[in-house]
Amino acid sequence: MRTVLFLFFLCITPLVYSQVHFKIFNPEQAKQDAAKQHKLILLQVRSSACDDCNSIADKSFSSPELNAYLNEYCIPYVLEQNDPESAAIKEEYNIGDGNYTLFLNADGDIIHRYNGSSSLYTAYVTEIKTAVQKAKTFSGNLKLSGDEYNKDPKSFSKLYAFISAREMAGLKNDSLVNELVSLAPDDSLKSYSFIRFAIRQSPELRSVTTTRLRTNPDIFKEAWYQLLPAERVRITNNTYNNSMRQAIRKKDMGYAMTIANSISAGSAKPAARSRAYTWQMMKYYEGTHDTLSYLVQAVKYYDSYTAEFQPDSIKRQDSLNLQQLMKNAGPGTPQVLDAKVPVLTRRITYSPVTQRYSSTLNNGAFKIYKWSKTELYRQKALEYVKRALEFYVTPQALDTYARLLYVTGNKEEAVNTMRKAIALLGDHGFSATDYRKTMDKMKNNEQID
C-alpha cells in the first residue's frame, strides 16, 4: 500500500506597512514632469479610513517587478488623504475615503482609475497596461467635448456629450448635471435612459437634479430598478458622500443630520442604526474641524463597537470561514517529492475577519491620539487599541499602542511594544525606519509626532 501525503499551505495574509517612497503629489509639478518625461502620472491615493487597504497596496508596491514596470510608463506620486491640502484634489478627482490608483496625463485628465487595492502586484501591472492603452486613444476627447460645450453652454446635446466624456474620465459632474436637467425638455424627464444617465452622476440629495428627476415617481422608480444592484449600491454611496461633502462645505449641520438619518435608516438593529448615524456625524465634525464634537461622537461610536463585537466570537467566525474555505478548496494538485511519496498540495489564501475589526479600532484610537492631549480621551484610545490587539496583532496597532503608552507615562512598556512592532515588520521583510525613529525618540525622552 502506497502512502499519500497531503500538504496544506495556508496563507494568512498579514496586513503590514511597507516603506514605498513616492513623490508627494503637487498637481502642477506632476504635470510638468509628465510632459517632460512623456509618461503618465500614477497617483496612489491612500485611504484615510482603512489601514488594511493601504497595507494591501503597500505589499504590491514593494514588488521589484511592479516598480520596474511602473517606472517605464509612469511617474509615481502619493496623496495622503489626511493632509488638509488634499481636499481640493479629492474634490476635483472625485475621491472618497478609500484607496485609489489614478492615472493622469500631462494635462491632469484622468485616463484610468483603479478603485481599491490588491496584494498582487500583477493586478497593478494590468491596470498600468490598461491606462497606457487608454492614453493612446484618449486623444483629447474630453478637451474637444469641453470646447464644444463652451462654445454653446445652453446646448442640451453638447452638455450631455461633455458630461459623458467627464464621466468616462472619472470626474465629478455635480453642477453640470444640474444644468443639464434644468435644460432638459419635459419628455426627457420621462425617458428611462436619460433618468439613468442623470442618476449615474450621483447627484446630492437636495440638488435640482434629484428634485426634477422625481417629478414622475413611478417612472423614476422603474428607471432606478433597471440598474444592476451593484450599480445602485455604488450610486447610493456616492450620492451620500457628495451630499455630506456639500453639508461640510456649507457647514450645514442640519443637512448632515438629515443625511445621517437617511443612511442609518438602512440598518435593522438599533445599535447598528445608532453607530451608522454617529459615524456620519463624525465625518461631518471632522470635515468642519470641530474637534471636540468629533471626539464626543468618536467615544460614543467606539464604546458601542467594543460592547457589541467580542474578539472570541469573531475568531470563532474566522475559524468556521476557514474550515469552509478548506472544504471547498478541491482535491489539491498532485506533486512528487520523491519516487515513493506522491503528494497532494492545496494553497489557500485567507484574510481573517478579525483584521477588519482590529483596523477599525486602531484607526479610531490613532485619530484620538492625534487629535487630543486630554487624559480622558487618551485613556479611551488606549482602551480601543488594546481591544484592537485582542482581535489581531498588526504593526500599526502596536505602533499606536506604543505611542499612547509613551504619552501616558509608560516609557519602558512603550519602547518594548515598539520593538515588537519593528520585529513584526521585519518578519515580513518590510522596512521599519519610521518606527525605529519613533522608538529612538522615546528612549531619549523626546516628543513624538
Q: Which residues pair with 119 in a beta bridge?
A: none
The CA distances from residue 385 to 270, 303, 306, 329, 401, in Å, are 25, 12, 10, 35, 6
Are 135 and 109 spatial neighbours (Cβ–Cβ below 8 Å)? no
Mean pLDDT, the chain, rounded, equals: 86
pLDDT exceeds cutoff 80 at 88: no
Q: Are residues 302 and 334 in the same domain?
A: no
The CA distances from residue 180 to 152, 163, 177, 224, in Å, are 13, 9, 5, 19
SS3 content of the chain, % helix, strand, coil (to 5): 65, 10, 25
If one counts every other C-beta atom within 10 angstroms of the C-beta of residue 443, the result is 12
Are 332 and 344 spatial neighbours (Cβ–Cβ below 8 Å)? yes
Q: Are residues 28 and 132 in the same domain?
A: yes
Q: What is the number of structural domains in the chain?
A: 4
Residue 275 falls inside a structural domain: yes
Predicted confidence band of residue 337 (pLDDT cuts 50, 70, 90): low
pLDDT exceeds cutoff 70 at 11: no
Residue 169 falls inside a structural domain: no
Predicted confidence band of residue 13 (pLDDT cuts 50, 70, 90): very low
Q: Are residues 68 and 88 in the same domain?
A: yes
Higher-pLDDT residue of 144 and 437 is 437
d(C-alpha 430, C-alpha 13), whole Å: 14
Cell 485619530 -> residue: 367
pLDDT digits (tens, 9 = 90+) for 128-163: 999 998 887 765 677 788 889 999 999 999 999 999
CA atoms within 13 A on the CB side of 367: 24
- Domain end, chosen from 99, 117, 138, is at 138
Residue 414 falls inside a structural domain: yes
Q: Are residues 340 and 420 in the same domain?
A: no
Predicted confidence band of residue 82 (pLDDT cuts 50, 70, 90): low
Give pLDDT, residue 2: 37
pLDDT exceeds cutoff 60 at 18: no
The count of residues in the chain is 449
pLDDT digits (tens, 9 = 90+) for 95-111: 777 788 899 998 888 88
Give pLDDT, residue 344: 55
Task: Write out the residue range of the structural domain in which residue 330 sits.
Answer: 313-348
Give pLDDT, residue 20: 46
Residue 152 falls inside a structural domain: no
Q: Pick from 63-77, 112-126, 433-447 the range whose average pLDDT is largest.
A: 433-447
Residues whose CB falls within 8 Å of the CB of residue 219, separated by 6 or more in sequence, listed in order: 189, 190, 192, 195
Residue 239, amino acid: T
Residue 147 falls inside a structural domain: no
Helices (H) and strands (E) in the chain, counts: 21, 8
Give pLDDT, residue 172: 80
Give pLDDT, residue 3: 40
Residue 92 falls inside a structural domain: yes
Q: Residue 41: which CATH number?
A: 3.40.30.10
Predicted confidence band of residue 53 (pLDDT cuts 50, 70, 90): confident
pLDDT digits (tens, 9 = 90+) for 397-419: 999 999 999 999 999 999 999 99
Q: Are residues 288 and 384 in the same domain?
A: no
Give pLDDT, residue 392: 94
Q: Which residues pair with 12 in a beta bridge?
A: 350
Give pLDDT, residue 8: 43
Are 210 and 190 spatial neighbours (Cβ–Cβ below 8 Å)? no
Helix residue ranges, H only, 140-228: 141-151, 156-168, 174-183, 192-199, 208-213, 217-225
Predicted confidence band of residue 60 (pLDDT cuts 50, 70, 90): confident
Give pLDDT, residue 4: 40
What is the mean predicted confidence (pLDDT) over 315-338?
A: 74
Give pLDDT, residue 177: 94
Give pLDDT, residue 45: 86
Q: Which of 68-72, 356-360, 398-402 has the lowest mean pLDDT?
A: 68-72
Residues whose CB falls within 8 Å of the CB of residue 228, separated by 6 or more in sequence, listed in order: none
pLDDT exceeds cutoff 60 at 258: yes
Percent of the chain with pLDDT over 90: 56
Rg (CA), the chain: 25
Are 58 and 18 spatial neighbours (Cβ–Cβ below 8 Å)? yes
Where b means 16+ CB within 10 Å and e means fewer, 266-287 reads eeeeeeebebbbbbbbbbbbbb
Helix residue ranges, H only, 191-290: 192-199, 208-213, 217-225, 229-250, 253-264, 270-287
Q: Which of 98-107, 117-126, 243-252, 425-434 has the lowest mean pLDDT?
A: 425-434
* Closest residue by Cα to residue 434 from 395, 405, 401, 408: 395
Q: Are residues 321 and 411 in the same domain?
A: no
Residue 357 falls inside a structural domain: yes
Give pLDDT, residue 446: 95
* Closest residue by Cα to residue 239 from 200, 283, 181: 200
Predicted confidence band of residue 55 (pLDDT cuts 50, 70, 90): confident
Supply the pTM of this predicted model: 0.77
Q: Residue 438: which CATH number?
A: 1.25.40
Residue 157 falls inside a structural domain: no
d(C-alpha 408, C-alpha 149), whole Å: 60
d(C-alpha 169, C-alpha 147), whole Å: 16
d(C-alpha 213, C-alpha 219), whole Å: 9
pLDDT exceeds cutoff 80 at 420: yes
Q: Are residues 415 and 321 in the same domain?
A: no
Q: Are residues 265 and 340 in the same domain?
A: no
Q: Are residues 288 and 381 in the same domain?
A: no
Give pLDDT, residue 348: 65
pLDDT exceeds cutoff 90 at 240: yes
Q: Are residues 37 and 111 in the same domain?
A: yes
pLDDT digits (tens, 9 = 90+) for 266-299: 898 999 999 999 999 999 999 999 999 999 999 9
Q: Are residues 317 and 405 in the same domain?
A: no
Higher-pLDDT residue of 135 and 40 is 40
Give pLDDT, residue 5: 41
Give pLDDT, residue 107: 84
- Domain end, chosen from 138, 166, 193, is at 138
Give pLDDT, residue 339: 53
Q: Are residues 340 and 414 in the same domain?
A: no
